[in-house]
Each structure stands twice: as C-alpha cells, then as structure tokens.
Amino acid sequence: MRKCFLLLLCASLIFVCGCEEEKPVEVKTLRLAETYFDDHVTSQSDFEFAKLVEEKSNGTLKIEVYTNGELGSEDEALKSLYNGELDFARVSMRSIHDNNNVINKIEMPYIFNDRGHMLRCVDQFVGPSLEGTLISYDAKIITYFDAGGLSLYTKQPIENVDALNGLKIRKYCNFSEFSYDYLSMLGIKPMDVDLNKISDSLKSGEIDGGEGYILDYYKSGIYKEAKNFLKAEFRYIPDILVMNRSLYSGLTPTEQDIIDSAAREVSIHQRENMKNFESDAEEKLKAEGCNIVEPSEELLSFFKENADLLFKHLPYEDVEVTLIDQIKAAK
C-alpha cells in the first residue's frame, strides 16, 4: 500500500511538472538607422554588428538595420534617437554640430597628420570629450568608424596652385565652420548644391567639382561627370554609432556587455575593410578612365600653409586649446 502511494505521488509530481508552461524568452528588437547604401563598407559593419549582438545574446537581442536613409537623413535619425523614438543611428561625427566645440575643432583641415593619427586621437580623448556633450541629448556613442579622408573631385585636373583659382567647388558640409573659409583661402569659390543635384550641376557648369570621399565619388556615379580625383584628404571626420542612452541604461549589465563587445569587434573590422573597399573603388575608377592622383608637393604645401593660417586666426576656449594640444602631441 505504501509503495502504491509513493508511486502515485511521484506520478502526480511528474504530471504537474510536465504541465507547467515554460516562460517565453523575452526578445528585444531594436532599430538602427543608416544612410549609406547596402553594400557600403559601413553598412556591412552595421549588419555584422546586428549579427554579433544576436549571436552573443542567444537571440534575445535583435537589431534591424535600415539602410539607404529609409528612416530619414542623419539629422532626422539623430532627432528621433534623442527623442527616444529610435535605438541606434550611424552618423557622421559632423552631424552632431549644434554649437559643439569638439566637432568644430577636429573638423579643421590637416589637424590630423593622417588617418591613423585621427583614429588614435578619437579613441583616446576626442571621443570621450564628445561623449560628455551628448548626455543632455540622451545619447551615447557606442563606437567609431573610419569614414575616409575628404578630398576633391573636378572636371579638369588640378596640377598646380594656379589651377585652383576661381574653381566653383561644392562644399561637402553646409554647416561646417571652416569649409567656406578654407576653400576661399585656396582661391576656390565655395558652392552650396543639394546632394541629389551634383551630377546635373556638373553637367550644366554650375560647379566645377566638389569635396568628397572616394567611395561616395564612385558609388554615386559622380565620376562620370568629373573624371579627376585629387586625394588631398583635407579632413578626417569619423563616423559614429550612437545609441539612445536611456535604452542602454535600461539593459541588463550582461546585455550592455554584449552591445559593447560587439561594437568593439565591428569597429576593428570596419577600419580594416575600409582600406580594402577604397583600394577596390580606386582600381574600378581607373578602369573607367578616371585620373586618381596624390597632390604634388607644391599643392600639399599650399594646402597645409593655408590650414595653418586658418588655425592661427581662430579664437579658442580653454577646453578647445586642451583638446588641440592633445591632438598635436599624439603621434
């Protein structure tokens, strides 16, 4: 009798445990806004970031990437992120331009010696300085990407300083504190032209060329109207992956670690891949009959001399002097 009772008790417990429903695993689905086209190196890094986050979280964190400006321009995406309506946005660091002294100063021409110098400075102290300014916007920088060096494309080759005089060049960034003044110092006439009207403006003669990155120059098809690309690389402004700060704070410590570690991995890959993408674009442009050249010693000296003049005539606040001193001291 006792054995029967125990058997019945065990069977009952097994039945109860078997009937108890497992709690469903909560899946958090987040959105990331991207303005680059799908096969851009940075868009590919967005997708890699999303994949890593999902793998590391065993599927509990998912990130949907929207490319080609599907969720709006960089400014629109940032506004949505600040308001808590968007989770992530990949934007140019220059998009955070609202009276931001950190951005204003690192956008100065030739403040960085080269791309490696820029990336080291961004990782070590430029980024942390910028991070502090974003707290009031409820935003947090997750990582930094290499965006390349801003150069010049033109219809006619620029072989010497005299060739710059009177050129009508489209400014890359309409709100840049330095773009207009610097181009003017070079003898260039800076022009404001909508991004979607560049090719038509080149055809009509409204502009003779513009500031741009080699990947954009190739992918946009601008090279068809302006066959010359001068790799002046006046400025290096990184891209950043930004996250809504409140959202990040609301994640568990484990989820935060997943986001941070995935971002670190992707940043390393993106910087390596950028070089390959640019080399590939350059080869394809040359195959299309484009003239891709480094500036002559005369031109490079002229560019840097005018950058120094611009630098010396600008007022700075104490925090800016400290930042610039750090940049110049970094090797």
pLDDT tens digit sequence for 197-233: 999 999 999 999 999 999 999 999 999 999 999 999 9
Question: At 191, phi and psi to the nearest 5?
Answer: -125, 145
* pLDDT score of 6 more than 60: no
| Model pLDDT, residue 23 | 67
> What per-residue confidence (pLDDT) applies to 328?
78
| Nearest by Cα to 118 from 137, 139, 145 | 145
Main-chain dihedrals φ then ψ at residue 142, nearest 5 degrees: -90, -40
The pLDDT, as a whole number, for residue 316 is 58
Angle at 331 between CA 264 and CA 147, to 5 degrees: 45
Residue 196 binned pLDDT confidence (cut-offs 50, 70, 90) = confident
Q: State pTM to two decimals.
A: 0.84
Residue 177 has pLDDT above 50, yes or no: yes
pLDDT at position 175 is: 56
pLDDT for residue 7: 47
Query: SS3 of 154, please?
Result: strand
Q: Say if residue 52's pLDDT is above 70.
A: yes
Residue 85's pLDDT is 97
Strand partners, 153: 210, 229
Q: How confident is the model at residue 315 (pLDDT cuts 50, 70, 90)?
A: low
What are the CA-CA distances from residue 210 to residues 135, 243, 293 (Å)?
A: 35, 32, 16
Q: What is the DSSP string of 162-219?
A: GGGTT-EEE-S-TT-TTHHHHHHHTT-EEE---GGGHHHHHHHTS-SEEEE-HHHHHH
SS3 content of the chain, % helix, strand, coil (to 5): 55, 15, 30
Q: Note the pLDDT tens digit of each residue in 285-299.
A: 999 999 999 999 999
Task: Give, as one character, the DSSP assignment of residue 295.
Answer: P
Going by the DSSP 8-state scheme, the letter that residue 331 receives in this structure is -
**Using one digit for the tens of pLDDT, what is the confidence trace for 268-284?**
999 999 999 999 999 99
Question: How much is the pLDDT for 130?
Answer: 82
Mean pLDDT score across all residues of the chain: 88
The angle that helices 253-287 and 41-56 make with each other, rounded to 10 degrees, is 150
Domains and CATH numbers, the chain: 28-98+116-146+237-277 (3.40.190.170), 150-235+285-329 (3.40.190.170)
Confidence check: pLDDT of 25 > 90: no
Residue 1: pLDDT band by 50, 70, 90 thresholds?
Answer: very low
Is residue 270 classed as helix, strand or coil in its secondary structure?
A: helix
Q: How confident is the model at residue 242 (pLDDT cuts 50, 70, 90)?
A: very high
Confirm if 201 and 193 have CB atoms less than 8 A apart.
yes
β-pairing, 209-212 vs 150-154, is antiparallel
Q: What tens digit of pLDDT does each residue of 95-154 get?
A: 886 556 667 677 888 989 899 999 988 888 888 878 888 888 999 999 999 999 999 999
pLDDT of residue 264: 96
Secondary structure element (H or E) that encloses residue 153, with its range: strand 150-154
Compute the distance between CA of residue 305 and CA of residue 298 in angstroms, rounded to an integer: 11
pLDDT for the residue 21: 57
User: How deeply is 60 buried, as exposed, middle or buried, from its count of CB atoms within 10 A (0-12, 13-18, 19+)?
Assistant: middle
Tell me the DSSP string of 35-88.
-S-TTSHHHHHHHHHHHHHHHHTTTSEEEEEE-TTTT--HHHHHHHHHTTS-SE
pLDDT of 165 strictly over 70: yes
**pLDDT digit string, tens, across residues 9-23:** 444 544 444 444 566
Pairing of strands 291-293, 228-235: parallel
For residue range 53-99, what is the model confidence (pLDDT) as tens digits? 999 999 999 999 999 999 999 999 999 999 999 999 999 988 886 55
